[in-house]
Each structure stands twice: as C-alpha cells, then as structure tokens.
Structure 1
C-alpha cells in the first residue's frame, strides 16, 4: 500500500510557523528593549557628567547655585537629545518628555569623599530617568502591559 506524502511538509510548516514567528518577534522585541535601555543609560550618564562639570557658583552644598535652572535644563537636553541644543533630534523618538528626567543634588559629608573644590559637604548630582518601552505591538497582541526602563547615575560636582 502506497502513502501519498505530498503536502506533509506544508502541514508541518503551518503547525510550526506560528511558533517560529513568535520566537522571531520575541527576539526582536527583546533586542529593541536592550537597545532602548542602553540609549537611556548612556544619555543619563552623559547628563550627570555634564551637570557635575558645569560652571556654577556654589557657595555651600545646601544652597543651589543661581544658575542651577540653566544647568538642570541643559542636563535634560543632554539626556533627551545628546546635546545642549534643544532643537536637536531626540535620541529616542518616543522619549520627548523632560519630566521623565529628574536631576537632584545630595550633600555628602567630607569624610566619605574628597573634593578638590569644597571644604565642607560635597554636592553629588544624580540624574535619573524613567522611560516607557516603545514596543512594536507584540506585547499588546499577547495581552501584556508595556513596561518602563529606569536608570540613574551620580557624579560628584567638580566644576568646569
């Protein structure tokens, strides 16, 4: 008795294709998530480095310098755009909200760190960002909620 096997490969492919497509899209989403997190992490570090080296008229750690608003605004531009220019293109198209980037100053006692500038408490600038993940639709298709990536970086102020 002869069996007709024509079409068996097509049937097998139709059974395996959804799994293969799911794996391919899942790997693409994972790669995009890592890429976006890397961009956010790198830009937050750059913003903290900028703020820590910006010229400022610090008198004492507990009092912010008079130009702190400019420094903080510029640091937010560095985080979002990679440059001080507020009209430059965004590093991530969906990350356009400056309120997702926070800049704070903490005073650290001199015994913990040594500053080339201060004799008393030392300002440590922390830049943090929480950015929603921009997926290609796979998470919504699977009924999963999107997530955010959060990162922070701290630098001791050394002036410019």
Structure 2
C-alpha cells in the first residue's frame, strides 16, 4: 500500500468532524437562501407601497376640482408621503417630484378593434389621468455590484371631477 493510501485508510472509518464538514457546506447556502428571500420580500413590499401611492394620487387627481397645478402638487405629496400635505415617506428616498402626472387625455370608450366597451360613457371618449413613477431600489444587489433594481409603476384613473 502506498503512503497516500495509508493516510486515506486512517480517515476511512473515522466519523469525527463529519457534522462540522456538513455544517460548513450547508450553512452558507442556507444563509444565502434566507438573505435572498428577505431581499425579495423587501422588493415586493416596496413595489406594493409604490403602487398604493400611485393609485392614491390617480384617484385624487380624478376627483380634484381645483386648479391643475395645486391638485398635482397635492397628489404628488399624497403618493410619496401618504398625505395631501406633509406626512411621512412611504418609501425612503421616494420624493414627490418622482411622481409624474399627465393631464387627462381622451380615450375611446369602445375598443375599435374588438368592439368591447372599455368605459361606460355617454360620449365616445372618456378623460383619463395617468400617474407614473420609477424608483431605484437600493438593496443588497447594488452593494454586490449587480446594479440597482428599477421599479416602475403606473396607474390610470378615469376623471370624474374637473
């Protein structure tokens, strides 16, 4: 038997330290999996907060009957801070200026191609306000050099005010 064979032979039946080797292999994988689940849930939560803010701003703009610029400033603050004036940030780093609100535009009440009625309306068009935003998520991925994840959210609301 060679010298290497004798060394291997000594360890063949020895189980001391087997649990340590198994732990050394599995613990990094479990930690990576746990961190990934945590990060994904944070991304999902941030997206849901962005969606809630954009929807709130859309509903506010659709019903606001004041001056467009005043309503837009209030709606932007409502989206980012959860209140028409002041409030606390829904998402850290998401500012009211990042919320874009486009003046109402006319959409066909009926889909021209399929004939499907999209909106109930007494006229052939309806006015709709568009609210969009983008947010650069500063999570673990950007720290690891993968670049930031950009979350984009939009919402349309039929205008019933104005």
Matched, 1:17 2:19: no
1:56-99 Cα deviation digits (max 9, x unpaired): 4xxxxxxxxxx11110001101110111022x11011221x223
Q: Does 1:35 align with 2:48?
A: no
Mark the CA change 1:31 to 1:155 in structure 2 (over 3 Å): closer, same or farther.
Answer: same
When residues 130 and 109 of structure 1 are mapped into structure 2, their CA distance, relative to the original with a 3 A threshold, is closer
- Counterpart position of 1:157: 159
Contact 1:107/1:121, CA 8 A, preserved across alignment: no
Aligned to 2:76: 76
Structure-1 residue corresponding to 2:149 = 147
Deviations along 1:5-40, whole A, 9 cap, x unmatched?
Answer: 121111111112111111111111111111100110
Q: Tell me the CA shift for residue 110 of structure 1.
A: 6.6
The secondary structure found in structure 1 opposite 2:130 is strand
- Equivalent residue of 2:100, what SS? strand
For 1:121 and 1:93, locate their aligned partners in 2 and report how far apart those are by CA, in whole Å.
Answer: 39
Q: Secondary structure at the match of 2:79?
A: helix
Structure 1: any 5+ residue segments left out of the alignment? 57-66
Change (3 A) 1:110 1:4: closer
Higher relative contact order (CA closer than 8 Å, sequence separation 6+): 1
TM-score computed with the length of structure 1 as normaliser:
0.79
Q: Which has the larger radius of gyration?
A: 2
Say whether residues 1:48 and 2:52 are aligned partners: no
Secondary structure in 2 matching 1:48: helix
Q: What does residue 59 of structure 1 align with? A: none
Normalized against structure 2, the TM-score is what?
0.78
Task: Give the 4+ runs in structure 1 shifted more than 3 A.
Answer: 109-116, 119-122
Q: C-alpha separation between the residues in 1 aligned to 2:109 and 2:156?
A: 18
Alpha carbons 1:51, 1:71 under 8 Å: kept = yes
In the other structure, the counterpart of 1:105 is 103
Aligned length: 144
Determine which structure has the larger helix proportion and give its number.
2
Separation in 2, partners of 1:23, 1:109? 46
Q: CA RMSD in A?
A: 2.4
